Amino acid sequence: MNVIELKDVIKEYPLGKTSVHALRGVNLSVKEGDFTSIVGPSGSGKTTLLNIIGCIDHATTGVVKVHGKDVTTMSDYSLTLLRLHSIGFIFQTFNLIPVLNVRENVEFPLLLMKSKNYTKKQIKERAEKLIEEVGLSEHINHRPYELSGGQRQRVAIARALVTNPDIVLADEPTANLDSETGERILSLMQELNKIEKTTFIFSTHDPEILKYAKSITKIRDGKIVA
């Protein structure tokens, strides 16, 4: 079963009197439980593709389906709920909330999921479990400015996984990690992929991720080339 389907997706950004063609007629299907990497040079459209799959950005034209639903016709509110409950994001720029400490940043998505009726204890326990798994228990009360780039990346990873999303989108998730930590994180993701059938889609230059990938999609100049 396909959890992601893109058909003839074009994305253009206005730039003065011209347009930047970020994606040029992309067709892509991702099956449930896949562990796939999107690879290509800088400026090839990898991040734009992830943002459109994750409903952060909108395609200029084309069809984008998540769990069989055409997201191009959904309201902003419906898209917000879809992102909250079904999609986890690992941003290359972290996007942590500066005034919150590590635990609070990881807890935040669970606090937004009011329909789940999580207790404060359940939220705390779930967040602390993920923080321990990414190796940050000693820094649980630190704010982002007190952390290194690699540590902030691990907070972002824990936050993405804390809601048990069906789909995880990761933009260069190991870019700021040393090789040992990167391997530990990838093993955690692979375990979730096997046990929970979580679908992982990576944008990466990291050859280690490519070793874990079940499938690889190559993109260049906004087009899928292989």
Kindly report the pTM of this predicted structure: 0.91
b/e map 161-199, b = 16+ CB within 10 Å: bbbebbbbbbbbbbebbeeebbebbbebbeebbeeeebb
Query: Does a structural domain hold residue 58?
Result: no
Query: Does a structural domain hold residue 17?
Result: no
Looking at residue 30, its pLDDT comes to 96
Query: Does a structural domain hold residue 213?
Result: yes
Domain that holds residue 120: 34-44+74-224
Strand partners, 220: 223
What is the count of structural domains for the chain? Answer: 1
Residue 150's domain is classified under what CATH number?
3.40.50.300
Quick check: helix, strand or coil at residue 37? Answer: strand
Query: Does a structural domain hold residue 181?
Result: yes
Strands 87-90 and 2-15: unpaired
Pairwise CA distance, residues 155 & 176, whole Å: 12
Is there a contact between 171 and 94 (Cβ–Cβ < 8 Å)?
no
Instruction: List the pLDDT tens digit at each of the 226 positions of the chain.
Output: 899 999 999 999 988 888 889 999 999 999 999 999 999 988 899 999 999 999 999 999 999 999 999 999 999 999 999 999 999 999 888 999 999 999 999 999 999 998 788 999 999 999 999 999 999 999 999 999 999 999 999 999 999 999 999 999 999 888 888 888 888 888 888 999 999 899 999 998 888 888 889 999 999 999 999 8
Query: Does a structural domain hold residue 144?
Result: yes
Query: Does a structural domain hold residue 123?
Result: yes
Query: Does a structural domain hold residue 185?
Result: yes
Query: Does a structural domain hold residue 98?
Result: yes
